[in-house]
Structure 1
Amino acid sequence: MRRTAAHEDGDTPRAWPGPGRPIAEWDPHALEVHPAGPVSGPRMLPGYVRRAHDQVLAQAVEEARQGQSRMVVLIGSSSTGKTRSCWESVQPLAEAGWRLWHPFDPTRASAALDDLHRVGPRTVVWLNEAQHYLGDNQLGEQIAAAVHTLLTQSERGPVLVLGTLWPEYERQYQSVPAPGSPDPHSRVRELLAASRTVTVPAGFDAEALRAAAALARRGDRLLADALTRASAHGQVTQDLAGAPQLLYSYEHGSPAARAMLEAAMDARRLGIGLHLPQTFLTDAALDYLTEAEYDHLADDWAEAAYAELARPVHGRQAPLRRASPRPIRRPPGTLPPASPGPAAGPVFRLADYLEQHGRVTRMKLCPPLSFWAAAHAHLTDPDSLATLAEAATRRSRLQWAHHLWHRACEAGSVNALTYLVEFQETAGNHHGAEDLAHQAAASANTRALSRLAELRRAAGDNEGADLLDRKAADAGDGYALARLAGVLELAGERQAAEAAAYRAATAGNPDGLMKMADLRRAEGKSEDAERLYQQTADAGVVEALFSLAELRERTGDYTGANAFVLQAAKLGDSAAVAHLVAKREHLGRHTHAEALAKQALHSHTSDGLLELARIRELGSYHKSAERLYRQAASAGDANALAHWAWLRERRSRHGEEAEDLVQQAAAAGNPHVLYHLAELRQHRDNDHTGAEDLYRQALTTGDTRALRPLANILEHDGDHANAEALAERAAGYEYFFALIYLASVREKAGHADLAEKLYLRMADSGVVAASFDERWPYGLDPDGSPTSPWH
């Protein structure tokens, strides 16, 4: 209380004994702001141009100054100015005496987890390249939970958490797994709510370029120099950071240097750690060379290539520089963790810009044989080996995946044991599989035991599966506990079943609670079911809120039912509103259906109105449907606007008026309406020509969803080359189903050779199709040829 009062009176607060030091004492380059300018010159920053994302940062900073804890994560590609934006944003806090803490030593993740609980008020927590914190295989979820606690404990505030992420990492963390699959980023996904992330554009727009030019005219030589190259494309920050020269070094380097860079690019995009052993890179590079290039290698080719790549380019960056991992420091008498030490010999780090360039340009390529052999021979980090084994599996390089899983296990990866358990079990070595599963459980990894139970149950050995499930449950495995809860419930041991379900939920798997609630509800035990659904919802299962709404709906408590589905919508399940609206409408409760839809609209959820409009349109209540579509469209729903325009076109021959309505909406910043209208043209009108035109217009506005249906239309018309090009573009935006669907269409149409080539390209890209196991039972060799039987 005294500290808060002192802040309000404007006095300088007593120093907090937490981590960090005053912002004014920090050098921005120590916080990983990219240096700019000539290598030999003084370290300096160019003038700063504020853009739209800076306004979001400024608001968060001001709210932090006013006493509210805030978090902002900037999402953008490499060298787009994310870290510099964060640095500029905290300068007002520097003047107010705030501290800044950059967790880094001994590793970013361990430093963050160790000291987040010590962070005090008026501190900026600096999580630059947040994937090293939130994406850590072992600690990421715990760090996300600790940050959440820091932000929500008012007595520790105000604090400001700033982070940066590449878009592909954000997509990875925000991706919701399939039902029943592990969810490794649930807490990170919750932390990265939409209100906490802001996108940094890849380049300067016209306004930003004018501002940069004004600074250049006033004497900023760094900006003036960068604008001579970047004014056409707007990538000023990348130029300042040295990206063009890095790219030139790669594209125009010697064959050996280019081969090493490609091996390093593949290593990073397939999940190997930042620091790449020299022995690995040297051996891996060989098969990236052509036969002629290999024949002309000098005896000292490797030394010459490393020297070439170590030369800094504009922006003080080297394409591939020797790195010096920080030594791990511990208090006297503290035992080190039971893991292998760093790789023997020198290690190297690939420049960020080239790493991301490789992720884009090499995403469709599978590394050659020398890469996999070098990884198996020289990598020692268990996480890198396990991640690479997963990458090999996704690419159907099953034999190399198997060997890498073994190496990962030897290096100390407990997760690798799960793979080996499954391999031994399917090979018929049941005792060996069980021994390995118990070995994993002894190392606090119960997933291997749980997975073995799943395999035994699938093979019909229910008794053996139950025994393993009990062992895994005793060790705290959430999946086994959930299955055990179901077994106990069916056996009538309800008290024990609930206890197991609670333990499963505590271990991160509330499925048992949900299933138990469903069973109680089916038996007519509504009070028990409601209690269990509420506990399931409290454990984070949003679907349980809809079940609670249905229970209230049965008793006529429409207000209570509305409250539950609106709560679900606020947590991201807007479909819950649509489902309940549809249920009411079909039961004849039209007034209650429309009331809920309109109430949801006030909470910025238009799905209910859209669903209600669709139902009434199908029932030929066109006037009512049009009114509802119009209301949803007025709230910004692009799909509703498309339906409204289409319905007007069909009902009153206002074809041109409807088209104008759609084009005006697209021009006003709502491009998705073109996509939705194209869907209606394609599927309701069977107008493929009109649909194709609208899909192409949607694509020009940036709606990449149009790539998949466009590919399908072109394939149907026989334009295989362009269909494949569009499907691959769609896969680049993670619409992988476009490739899978296109390959299946070709196979059914009798184009086996075209389908085979596409399946192979999918495998090389890491896009998995269900048919791969049957197509290549032993996997593929690195060159793409089917592997001979090996197990």
Structure 2
Amino acid sequence: MKSILRVLINIAQARKSLPESDQDLYSIEAWEVLWTIAKESPVDNVKHRVGNGTLGLSVDSVNPIELEVHPSIEINTATLNVPPALPLYVIRQHDHRLQAIVTEATKHSSVCVLVGGSSTGKTRACWEAIRSIGKHWRVWHPLAPSRHEALLKALRNRQISPHTILWLNEIQFYLNPSPPELGEEIAAELRELIRDPDRGPVLVIGSCWPEYWDILTVRPGPAKPDLHPQARALLAGHHILVPEEFSEEELWQLNRKASDDQRLEAAAAKGNRRVTQFLAGALELINRYETLPAIARNVIHVMMDVHRFGYKGSISEEFLRDAVQGYVHEDTWAGAKNSWFKKAVKQSRRPCLGVSGPLRLRKEGPNSKATYELADYLDEAGRIIRREEVPPASFWASSAKHLRDVSGLLDLAYEAQIRGRLKYAALVYLKAADCGELEALLSVAEHRRDAGAIDEARKLFRHAADQGLDDAWLYLAQIEKDHGDLGAAARILNEAGDSALAVRIAIYLTDPGQNKGHALRLLERAFELSSKESLADLDLSRYEEELRDLLRQNWESVEEMDKSFGNLRAATENMRTAEKERTEAGDQLIEAIKTSEKSFKWAVDLFLDQAQSGNTDALLMLAKAWHAVGDSEKARNYIMSALNRGHTEMDGSNALSALADLEINEGRPHMAIQIRRYGLEIDGSPASEWGVSIDE
């Protein structure tokens, strides 16, 4: 067989009969692969093995722009013929590693993700690497009805054939959709696909920004749920970092090719190492953004804010129009005409050196409403440019009025909450509840309860309970118990009926120290109803001995439960120890810097460096440091910086609590109470009293 192939290939080479696109057919290895596929494919099953012709296209027939490779800038010159969309390619260090992985994928299934910032050349590098993989390979870019839905359907139905390249650009859209459980199913299915030799070889290739890579691959702390174990297992050890700047060797290669492509020549003439960003128009995008008129620039600010807060749904004209109005100074509005929005959008959409402008229009079909997208590079840059900016009230009001993606609304509400803007968080949480996410009601109700608005909290919890949210009954019962109204708590128990929920409420209300026999009877009933959730409501330190006896009667594997209890106790103890040690270490450091100016400067420099890396805990430590030496103004500034950036929690407290504590230390306890109950206004001042209402 090889001898015949060799003769035929020699004849073809001598006659130069193959076009350039088919040069790989001069290789015996390529013919051997095709022969193997033919032998292993029964005649009646050949169509199935190539994916029924539905998933993907041959590599040489795909337009790289359709794979989301950034088109290049255009160079204005009268003598230049119309150039291809992509400039000549300069091979970089990471390309060698990527090419080796792609070559290896022709033998067995592989995964590779390029990780780097926007416009660093990730997607173009992937495209260049797969071009030589062979004509018999197909590339499939799952997109519709949504990226993750398309991929999950194909994986569930086993529609992905051998010799398929799964093109997962922006891989977070596939592995971290809403809800995250779908992403975990995709990751698990991809792992099965990769390790099954009968379904390969396939190549899973993708790209990702560093911050999304961290979300998918960094193991969470002991107190946080692990949302991405399957994604982490899939991706571990399968990434290549793409630098933002060219090395000296790569710049030399750029200059060698510059004479053959005027776009490369222009990039070389800039004398800037950020070559791919220049070619993608990224630097021009920044220039365009900075020089836009005020209203148009603030339209971009709205887009930056909604993206940096995690909203992934579509952005409508109505949302943009209403949201931007609070961003623009009143003096600017005085000179604006009725067509201000249309003009601002037109200015924001103007192309930059031939590539799309800062704002991009998107339409799914001729009869669909237009939605808007932000250029990738500005999306990434906005996370720095806007990181200490809190959007105005119009942003939150427009979000509650126009946005409908539930997961995105929850993200927006949470971002308002961790910035201490509690009334705006409540506004958006309630919109998420209206869209079907009843858990959002609990977030609002808990805050109103903690703020002392008990009647409001009762109404919210009751509304959630009536809508079918079982946990709301528990909260209602706890409110009545805390206020000493056991009669009302009992009525709530009766409403829940003879069910696992009722047992949970009863356990919730029972004090094991006073009535341990009753508590154990409730537990027995919980086991009868298979209500293992009831265990979550127990104080294990007070129940453990009796609970173990009960478990021996109700659980098949005592050893397994003993191990589970041991793991739970150990994890809890480790978490408490870690929090205690971190708190003590921070307090010791604060005490130490009081004694020495040199120590103080060292600590401040350390915290400033961490804060520059995005660590908001470091900002609170800076506040503690300055307060320790008597500078309350600087302490307040750092606390506000932590709040405006979005501070979650440090050692059980957050930046809003730190601000309230500062007010107490400054002799203003009434201000502290106001801050804890009502949060802050957009400008950082204590919020006035506010409440919420719901439509019954």
TM-score range for the pair, normalised by the shorter chain length: 0.7 to 0.9
> Which amino acid in structure 2 is aligned with residue 63 of structure 1?
E
Determine which of 200, 204, 207 is the counterpart of 1:164.
Answer: 207
Q: Report the counterpart of residue 611 of structure 1 in structure 2.
A: none
Q: Within 5 Å, which residues of 2 pair with 1:334-733?
A: 346-423=370-447, 426=450, 427-429=453-455, 432-438=459-465, 441=468, 491=520, 531-532=560-561, 717=597, 727-733=607-613
Distance 1:425 1:369, change over 3 A: closer
Distance 1:369 1:146, change over 3 A: same
Q: Is 1:742 equivalent to 2:622 in the alignment?
A: yes
> Which amino acid in structure 2 is aligned with residue 373 of structure 1?
A
| In 2, Cα distance between equivalents of 1:371 and 1:48 | 42
| In 2, Cα distance between equivalents of 1:380 and 1:309 | 25
Distance 1:382 1:39, change over 3 A: farther
Distance 1:729 1:358, change over 3 A: farther
Determine which of 284, 287, 290 is the counterpart of 2:323.
Answer: 284
Q: Is 1:93 equivalent to 2:136 in the alignment?
A: no
Identity of aligned residues (%): 32
| In 1, Cα distance between equivalents of 2:499 and 2:474 | 8
Q: Once the 2 structures are TM-superposed, how far is the Cα of residue 282 of structure 1 from its aligned partner?
A: 2.4
> Which amino acid in structure 2 is aligned with residue 767 of structure 1?
H
Q: How many residues align?
A: 592
Determine which of 45, 48, 51 is the counterpart of 1:16.
Answer: 51
Whether the 8 Å contact between 2:593 and 2:625 is mirrored in structure 1 is no
Q: Is 1:148 equivalent to 2:215 in the alignment?
A: no
Whether the 8 Å contact between 2:476 and 2:492 is mirrored in structure 1 is no
| In 1, Cα distance between equivalents of 2:561 and 2:61 | 53
Q: Report the counterpart of residue 14 of structure 2 in structure 1.
A: none
Q: Report the counterpart of residue 75 of structure 1 in structure 2.
A: 115
> Which amino acid in structure 1 is aligned with residue 375 of structure 2?
A
Whether the 8 Å contact between 2:113 and 2:238 is mirrored in structure 1 is yes
Q: Determine helix, strand or coil for the equivalent of 2:132.
A: helix
Q: Report the counterpart of residue 638 of structure 2 in structure 1.
A: 758
Distance 1:100 1:727, change over 3 A: same
> Which amino acid in structure 1 is aligned with residue 60 of structure 2?
A
Q: Determine helix, strand or coil for the equivalent of 1:94.
A: coil
Deviation string, structure 1 residues 225-273 (Cα, Å, up to 9, x no partner)? 22222x33x1111111101111111111111211111121112111233
Whether the 8 Å contact between 2:507 and 2:534 is mirrored in structure 1 is yes
Q: Report the counterpart of residue 26 of structure 2 in structure 1.
A: none
Q: Once the 2 structures are TM-superposed, how far is the Cα of residue 293 of structure 1 from its aligned partner?
A: 2.8
| In 2, Cα distance between equivalents of 1:298 and 1:722 | 54
Distance 1:461 1:717, change over 3 A: farther
Q: Once the 2 structures are TM-superposed, how far is the Cα of residue 121 of structure 1 from its aligned partner?
A: 1.9
Distance 1:309 1:433, change over 3 A: closer
Q: Once the 2 structures are TM-superposed, how far is the Cα of residue 520 of structure 1 from its aligned partner?
A: 6.5
| In 2, Cα distance between equivalents of 1:719 and 1:287 | 44
Deviation string, structure 1 residues 192-216 (Cα, Å, up to 9, x no partner)? 32x0222111111111111222222
Q: Once the 2 structures are TM-superposed, how far is the Cα of residue 8 of structure 1 from its aligned partner?
A: 9.0
Distance 1:785 1:16, change over 3 A: same
Distance 1:157 1:533, change over 3 A: farther
| In 1, Cα distance between equivalents of 2:544 and 2:408 | 39
Determine which of 36, 52, 74 is the counterpart of 1:38.
Answer: 74
Bigger shift: residues 748-757 or 411-420: 411-420
| In 1, Cα distance between equivalents of 2:389 and 2:601 | 19
> Which amino acid in structure 2 is aligned with residue 411 of structure 1?
C
Q: Report the counterpart of residue 205 of structure 1 in structure 2.
A: 247
Q: Once the 2 structures are TM-superposed, how far is the Cα of residue 752 of structure 1 from its aligned partner?
A: 1.9
Determine which of 230, 233, 237 is the counterpart of 1:190.
Answer: 233
Bigger shift: residues 260-269 or 273-282: 273-282
> Which amino acid in structure 2 is aligned with residue 83 of structure 1?
T
Q: Within 5 Å, which residues of 2 pair with 1:134-145?
A: 134-138=175-179, 139-145=182-188
Distance 1:483 1:101, change over 3 A: farther
Distance 1:482 1:731, change over 3 A: farther
Q: Between Structure 1 and Structure 2, whose CA radius of gyration is higher? A: 2
Distance 1:128 1:327, change over 3 A: farther
| In 2, Cα distance between equivalents of 1:70 and 1:502 | 41
Q: Report the counterpart of residue 26 of structure 1 in structure 2.
A: 62
| In 2, Cα distance between equivalents of 1:464 and 1:516 | 26
| In 2, Cα distance between equivalents of 1:454 and 1:75 | 48
Distance 1:121 1:253, change over 3 A: same
> Which amino acid in structure 2 is aligned with residue 143 of structure 1?
I
| In 2, Cα distance between equivalents of 1:482 and 1:9 | 69
Q: Once the 2 structures are TM-superposed, how far is the Cα of residue 441 of structure 1 from its aligned partner?
A: 4.9
Q: Determine helix, strand or coil for the equivalent of 1:93.
A: coil
Whether the 8 Å contact between 1:251 and 1:258 is mirrored in structure 2 is yes
| In 2, Cα distance between equivalents of 1:59 and 1:545 | 47
| In 2, Cα distance between equivalents of 1:483 and 1:208 | 69
| In 2, Cα distance between equivalents of 1:49 and 1:92 | 16
Q: Is 1:306 equivalent to 2:345 in the alignment?
A: yes
Q: Once the 2 structures are TM-superposed, how far is the Cα of residue 180 of structure 1 from its aligned partner?
A: 4.5
Structure with bigger RCO (C-alpha 8 Å, 6+ apart): 2
> Which amino acid in structure 1 is aligned with residue 376 of structure 2?
D
Q: Report the counterpart of residue 602 of structure 1 in structure 2.
A: none
Whether the 8 Å contact between 1:321 and 1:350 is mirrored in structure 2 is yes
Deviation string, structure 1 residues 69-92 (Cα, Å, up to 9, x no partner)? 221121111011111111122223
| In 2, Cα distance between equivalents of 1:764 and 1:715 | 31
Q: Determine helix, strand or coil for the equivalent of 2:205.
A: strand
Q: Determine helix, strand or coil for the equivalent of 1:92.
A: coil
Determine which of 206, 220, 223 is the counterpart of 2:264.
Answer: 223
Whether the 8 Å contact between 1:380 and 1:411 is mirrored in structure 2 is yes
> Scaled by the length of structure 2, what TM-score is found?
0.72
Whether the 8 Å contact between 1:425 and 1:452 is mirrored in structure 2 is no
> Which amino acid in structure 2 is aligned with residue 31 of structure 1?
L
Q: Once the 2 structures are TM-superposed, how far is the Cα of residue 357 of structure 1 from its aligned partner?
A: 0.8
Q: Once the 2 structures are TM-superposed, how far is the Cα of residue 54 of structure 1 from its aligned partner?
A: 2.3
Gaps of 5+ in 1: 329-341, 548-572, 576-681, 687-708
> Which amino acid in structure 2 is aligned with residue 350 of structure 1?
L
Determine which of 72, 85, 108 is the counterpart of 2:147.
Answer: 108
Whether the 8 Å contact between 1:109 and 1:132 is mirrored in structure 2 is yes
> Which amino acid in structure 2 is aligned with residue 98 of structure 1?
W
Q: Once the 2 structures are TM-superposed, how far is the Cα of residue 740 of structure 1 from its aligned partner?
A: 1.6
Q: Report the counterpart of residue 244 of structure 1 in structure 2.
A: 283
Q: Report the counterpart of residue 560 of structure 1 in structure 2.
A: none
> Scaled by the length of structure 1, what TM-score is found?
0.64
> Which amino acid in structure 2 is aligned with residue 759 of structure 1?
I
Q: Once the 2 structures are TM-superposed, how far is the Cα of residue 142 of structure 1 from its aligned partner?
A: 2.7
Whether the 8 Å contact between 1:424 and 1:432 is mirrored in structure 2 is no
Whether the 8 Å contact between 1:126 and 1:161 is mirrored in structure 2 is yes
Q: Report the counterpart of residue 588 of structure 1 in structure 2.
A: none
Whether the 8 Å contact between 1:318 and 1:351 is mirrored in structure 2 is yes
Gaps of 5+ in 2: 1-30, 77-81, 576-584, 661-671, 692-696
Q: Once the 2 structures are TM-superposed, how far is the Cα of residue 403 of structure 1 from its aligned partner?
A: 0.9
Whether the 8 Å contact between 2:111 and 2:235 is mirrored in structure 1 is no
Whether the 8 Å contact between 1:454 and 1:465 is mirrored in structure 2 is no
Whether the 8 Å contact between 2:75 and 2:353 is mirrored in structure 1 is yes
| In 2, Cα distance between equivalents of 1:721 and 1:292 | 43
| In 2, Cα distance between equivalents of 1:163 and 1:499 | 47
Distance 1:136 1:518, change over 3 A: farther
